[in-house]
Chain A
């Protein structure tokens, strides 16, 4: 279902590897072309969002990334997915190193290997459900296999809504379209940045089940950021991030174990913030864990 029946080159056993990845905001080229005063001001006080993260994820694994707000989860995901470039360090996806380059080069790298699901869906409002799903193939100049796209949409439970526009769907349905769109290119790694963050409990569960099924049944590799211990418990393992560093790992997580670990992580971070680091403007140093799902 999630697979296209095209000939697949063999997969690398290691889907994702990060070596000493650092990301410093407010420095280098980005600061130079900063135009807005807010960004110029940020150039003054640099933020180390990722501080030497190394990790290795095998193909077919389902990993959740957790950590306090501002700990660098989104930054980690974007660097690993080629949406942003690390300040230093190495990112290897499916055996291919992501080497820095123009946006065009990064885009071409991503097209071959990466699917991304966002909290805010990011479906194109003028396109129908089916058109949204086939768009990545068109953009990549690949053959558009309509049947395959329809099959993926059927698999996510939207076979009846092919001609709908995003505005005519609920949030949960839109996120399922986004997942179908990410899967249709048959990516080596599927990333999700709080994919259930904007959904109610029931829709979130459907989305998480879909992701788990993609991993279990079809060997898809999934990396998902979440704030929700229950969502994290769908994964095979949880990586904890604090202050831009890996701060622990939990295998075969349960929601309770995750929540407990997060509470301690919050304590540690509150007690001893690393010098020169901010906890991010998005929230307080620590946001209460969402209950539910």
Chain B
């Protein structure tokens, strides 16, 4: 089965590229920050510097861990699910579920090990850069030497490895649990209902996010920058809750938009309305990263802007700790945004590629390439706009309470330019991923696409 895993890797480089890339990035970030612990163990490290380095390593490392698990599992799960048919075929020629699981886990091990090892060099560079920034801003002692040692290496490799194996197990369990016949008949169309655990988790996250917002407004009101602690996590938690609810959100959007889409957008609108309702699961998978990206970057960036204005207004200069927090904020949202984008691109490219045959069938029935692209673009637009809408809601859970706590306003006095930028990135990434992928799949003649399957 391991040879089979290697062989299937070689033939499906594309499907694993996203897993590989997100693992590589995740491991790089993890090890860059984890190496701060190695650095802190060196010479010339005073107590304050040690604390700064420790915070950097653990806070960002903690977020990194979460992200790596999330990104690796979503990309791997997708890579596995795209192959439901192949799995079914293997099953129908006699592969046992256990053999298939070993194959999938084997693939994950190869992908994650190579990605993590390749990440060592960039992580060293990253760590060095991070230390330079910390020195420049006077947050740590100038004399500290950079070190990359056992702690950084073992944390990076260990976490990446564990995340990949865990993700592979979860993905494989789903894929192999399917009966051979079910998988062979249109695995893609399955719209499984949301599990109870997922619903409960979503509601809990939403409640926690909302209560963090309330705490920011009440308890933390007038507490200065400390309000950032509760406010910052509010949008992240809330956005995660919404992301878990994505299938439900897609269904709602579909129900609301069906009539206007059919009315105003012609045939493309008709097909889009249809697809939004029939392909709930795939759209939900893509909606999640849009919500996370928008919610978290909107909330955090504006919170930081309000904070900076408030500090200026009070005529204060930033303390080392303030700078630390600002840097951390930017690093964390930068990471989250980057991972969300990778997940989004991966999901959209994979699901759109998978629809090549469907596009071919539409073309054979009389759809022009323009109509196919129009439908895909419209779907992308619906997806991006709903993601931006729900994400903005999550961002407001941070922003409004924090503005109330930190200033005497409700709506912050920060321009819309940053929001415009966030919206533009979300729209651009979503539309470019699906439309460009669809365009590529239109290059093959329809007959060829349809008879290839």
Binds B, one of A50-58, A88-96, A133-141: A133-141
Q: Is B450 a contact partner of A122 (Cβ separation < 8 A)?
A: yes
Q: Is B443 a contact partner of A33 (Cβ separation < 8 A)?
A: yes
Q: Does B274 have its Cβ within 8 Å of any Cβ on chain A? A: yes
In angstroms, Cα B367 to Cα A110, docked, is: 10
Q: Is A126 a contact partner of B274 (Cβ separation < 8 A)?
A: yes
Given contacts A83-B446, A83-B447, A125-B186, A103 and B274 within 8 Å (CB-CB): no
Q: Beta-carbon contacts of B410-453 to A below 8 Å, as 1s and 0s?
A: 00000000000000000000000000000000110111001101
CB distance from A261 to the nearest CB of B (A): 27
Q: Is B367 a contact partner of A167 (Cβ separation < 8 A)?
A: no
- Residues of B within 8 A of A (CB-CB), count: 30
In angstroms, Cα B358 to Cα A122, docked, is: 9
Q: Is B364 a contact partner of A108 (Cβ separation < 8 A)?
A: no
CB distance from B273 to the nearest CB of A (A): 11
Q: Does A116 have its Cβ within 8 Å of any Cβ on chain B? A: yes
Q: Does A107 have its Cβ within 8 Å of any Cβ on chain B? A: yes
Q: Beta-carbon contacts of B289-314 to A below 8 Å, as 1s and 0s?
A: 00000000000000000000000000
In angstroms, Cα B365 to Cα A130, docked, is: 14
CB distance from B278 to the nearest CB of A (A): 4
CB distance from A149 to the nearest CB of B (A): 14
Name the residue of chain B whose CB is nearest to the CB of A282: B451
CB distance from B368 to the nearest CB of A (A): 4
Name the residue of chain A whose CB is nearest to the CB of B275: A126
Q: Is A139 a contact partner of B365 (Cβ separation < 8 A)?
A: yes
Q: Is B366 a contact partner of A111 (Cβ separation < 8 A)?
A: yes
CB distance from A139 to the nearest CB of B (A): 4
CB distance from B282 to the nearest CB of A (A): 11
Q: Which residues of B contact A120 (CB under 8 A)?
A: 450-451, 453
Partner among B278, B446, B451 whose Cβ is within 8 Å of the Cβ of A126 = B278
Q: Which residues of B contact A131 (CB under 8 A)?
A: 274
Q: Does B267 have its Cβ within 8 Å of any Cβ on chain A? A: yes
Partner among B186, B365, B445, B447 whose Cβ is within 8 Å of the Cβ of A136 = B365
Q: Does B270 have its Cβ within 8 Å of any Cβ on chain A? A: yes
Q: Is A104 a contact partner of B368 (Cβ separation < 8 A)?
A: yes
Q: Beta-carbon contacts of A116-129 to B below 8 Å, as 1s and 0s?
A: 10101011111100
Q: Is A107 a contact partner of B368 (Cβ separation < 8 A)?
A: yes
CB distance from A19 to the nearest CB of B (A): 23
In angstroms, Cα B368 to Cα A141, docked, is: 12
Q: Does B200 have its Cβ within 8 Å of any Cβ on chain A? A: no
Most chain B CB neighbours (cut-off 10 Å) among A104, A108, A110, A138: A138
Q: Is A126 a contact partner of B189 (Cβ separation < 8 A)?
A: yes
Q: Which residues of A contact B447 (CB under 8 A)?
A: 78, 83-84
Main secondary structure of the interface of B (DSSP, over half): helix
Give chain B interface residues in 259-277, CB to chain A under 8 Å.
Answer: 266-267, 270, 274-275
Partner among B369, B450, B451 whose Cβ is within 8 Å of the Cβ of A103 = B369
CB distance from B21 to the nearest CB of A (A): 22
Most chain A CB neighbours (cut-off 10 Å) among B185, B365, B370: B365
Partner among B185, B445, B451 whose Cβ is within 8 Å of the Cβ of A167 = B185
Q: Is A83 a contact partner of B364 (Cβ separation < 8 A)?
A: yes
Q: Does A181 have its Cβ within 8 Å of any Cβ on chain B? A: yes
In angstroms, Cα B372 to Cα A139, docked, is: 10
Given contacts A83-B446, A125-B189, A116 and B364 within 8 Å (CB-CB): yes
Most chain B CB neighbours (cut-off 10 Å) among A78, A104, A135, A141: A135
CB distance from B382 to the nearest CB of A (A): 16
Partner among B274, B279, B371, B446 whose Cβ is within 8 Å of the Cβ of A139 = B371
Q: Is A103 a contact partner of B363 (Cβ separation < 8 A)?
A: yes
Q: Is B358 a contact partner of A124 (Cβ separation < 8 A)?
A: yes
Partner among B186, B365, B443, B450 whose Cβ is within 8 Å of the Cβ of A181 = B365
Q: Does B82 have its Cβ within 8 Å of any Cβ on chain A? A: no
Partner among B189, B275, B366, B445 whose Cβ is within 8 Å of the Cβ of A84 = B445
Q: Which residues of A contact B58 (CB under 8 A)?
A: none
Partner among A126, A136, A167 whose Cβ is within 8 Å of the Cβ of B366 = A136
Q: Does B362 have its Cβ within 8 Å of any Cβ on chain A? A: yes
Q: Is A124 a contact partner of B367 (Cβ separation < 8 A)?
A: no
Q: List 3 tightest A-B contacts by C-beta distance, closest first.
A: A126-B278, A104-B368, A139-B366
Q: Given A107-B366, A124-B365, 5 more contacts at CB 8 Å?
A: A83-B445, A84-B445, A123-B361, A126-B189, A136-B365
Provide a sorted-by-A list of 29 A–B residue pairs whose CB atoms are within 8 angstroms.
Answer: A33-B443, A78-B447, A83-B445, A83-B446, A83-B447, A84-B445, A84-B447, A103-B363, A104-B368, A104-B370, A107-B367, A107-B369, A108-B368, A111-B366, A116-B364, A120-B451, A120-B453, A122-B364, A122-B450, A124-B365, A126-B275, A126-B279, A126-B358, A131-B274, A136-B366, A138-B270, A141-B267, A167-B185, A167-B189
